[in-house]
């Protein structure tokens, strides 16, 4: 019977942990803060975010489905509902979608995104605007819905649901 190796024998912690400079605030990801240009740089900056994010099979498949669907392919799910326990990765997934789509000219040059685009059999990340509204502000939610119907494009989060897509398409969390 084989013995399971200690995790430190299998992987090496990130440099900030090895050097004792770990910042616990990086565990407090906040999509609103990131969209406002605030918060920890590890979440705010796409290169830092993807540099520290391990794309699990599930996350890579979800992001691949998102870019394929937004590129007009019908094989990506039009609606995805994310259900996880507390600290299950919902906000991290939304941040990955945000960074992937917010600045496609920049994100397409990041190594993890290049792999995603290749796996999605695409040449680039689709171009679309990003919007996020939080359920605490019902007036902004309704305004976003009206804008979305009028413009027939864009992505928004409304009423506690997180959407990314063109008119008639969405990714829900």
- Spatial CA neighbour of 164 closest among 65, 28, 55, 73: 65
pLDDT given for residue 79 in this prediction = 77
Compute the average pLDDT of residues 141-148: 59
Q: What is the pTM of this model?
A: 0.66
162 pLDDT above the threshold of 50: no
Hey, what are 147's tokens?
């804008």
| Degrees to nearest 5, angle at CA 70 with 156 and 97 | 55
Q: Where are the alpha helices (DSSP H) in 86-135?
A: 90-102, 104-107, 111-119
- Spatial CA neighbour of 94 closest among 145, 27, 157: 157
Residues 15, 160: Cα–Cα separation, whole Å: 36
In this prediction, residue 138 has a pLDDT band, given cuts at 50, 70 and 90, of low
Q: What is the pLDDT of residues 70-122, one digit of tens each?
A: 888 888 777 777 777 776 788 889 899 999 988 888 888 999 999 999 988 89
Backbone angles phi, psi at 54, to 5 degrees: -85, 120
Alpha carbon of residue 71 to chain centroid: 17
pLDDT given for residue 74 in this prediction = 84
Q: What is the pLDDT of residues 10-63, one digit of tens each?
A: 888 877 778 887 776 666 788 888 888 888 888 999 999 998 888 999 899 999
CB 73 within 8 A of CB 121: no
* For the chain, domain boundaries: 29-162
């Amino acid at each position: 019977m084989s013995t399971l190796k200690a995790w430190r024998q299998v992987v090496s912690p990130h440099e900030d942990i090895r050097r004792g400079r770990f910042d616990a605030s990086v565990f407090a990801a906040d999509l609103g803060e990131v969209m406002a240009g605030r918060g920890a740089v590890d979440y705010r900056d796409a290169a830092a975010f993807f540099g520290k994010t391990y794309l699990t099979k599930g996350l890579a498949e979800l992001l691949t489905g998102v870019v394929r669907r937004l590129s007009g392919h019908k094989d990506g799910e039009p609606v995805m509902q994310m259900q996880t326990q507390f600290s299950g990765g919902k906000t991290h997934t939304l941040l990955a979608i945000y960074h992937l789509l917010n600045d496609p000219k920049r994100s397409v040059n990041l190594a993890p995104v290049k792999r995603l685009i290749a796996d999605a059999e695409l040449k680039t990340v689709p171009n679309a605007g990003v919007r996020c509204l939080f359920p605490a502000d019902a007036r902004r939610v309704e305004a976003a819905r009206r804008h979305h119907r009028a413009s027939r494009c864009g992505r928004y989060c409304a009423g506690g649901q997180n959407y990314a897509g063109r008119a008639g398409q969405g990714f829900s969390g």
